Structure 1
Amino acid sequence: MQSSMWELATLQAHYYPNIATLTRIFNEPFHKPTFLLEDFLDHTYTTFFESDTARRPKKPPALAVQPPVSLFRSGDAVTEFMSF
């Protein structure tokens, strides 16, 4: 039982918000006498992936990557021994 508890606590801080939301259900008191397992079994990695890839972003992600112009920078140890 203790093993399951730390795993649930870890999943509640998951980077993917849908997984964190699903596991936070266990923090709240259960008011319903029974839950339908179908409500939880409908969520798989495939359904998460499909829903995220179908969604269009509101704005493009910010990227700070500059394409490289050469394999090695001048002054590196490799360029002292070899010329490219």
Structure 2
Amino acid sequence: MGGIMDKVKKPILTEKTIRLLEKKQYSFDVDLNSNKTEVKHWIENFFNVKVKAINSHRPPVKKKYAGSLVTHLVRYKRMIITLKPGYSIPLFPNE
């Protein structure tokens, strides 16, 4: 189980994801090689919650130009985790 902990990178806090918190939906950046089942088991065990659904997507690659050199920024996968009613993940200390 220690390997998957490295695959779940960080929670995402943007205007949209903060609106999703009201619907008990939490967004996390995860490693490209992780799948929904691994992330579901890790979230349920680590936070002691029940997951209702997981949606995942890969944002498009962003190019960075440095003169004539073109590099691609690191790709990642983002997962939106919906929890069953009555559960929550404390992202802030006062929750």
Asked if these proteins are the same fold (TM beyond 0.5), I'd say: no
Q: Normalised by the shorter chain, which TM-score bucket?
A: under 0.3
Q: TM-score, normalised by structure 2?
A: 0.20
| Rg larger in structure | 1
Q: TM-score, normalised by structure 1?
A: 0.22
Structure with more of its chain in strand, by fraction: 2
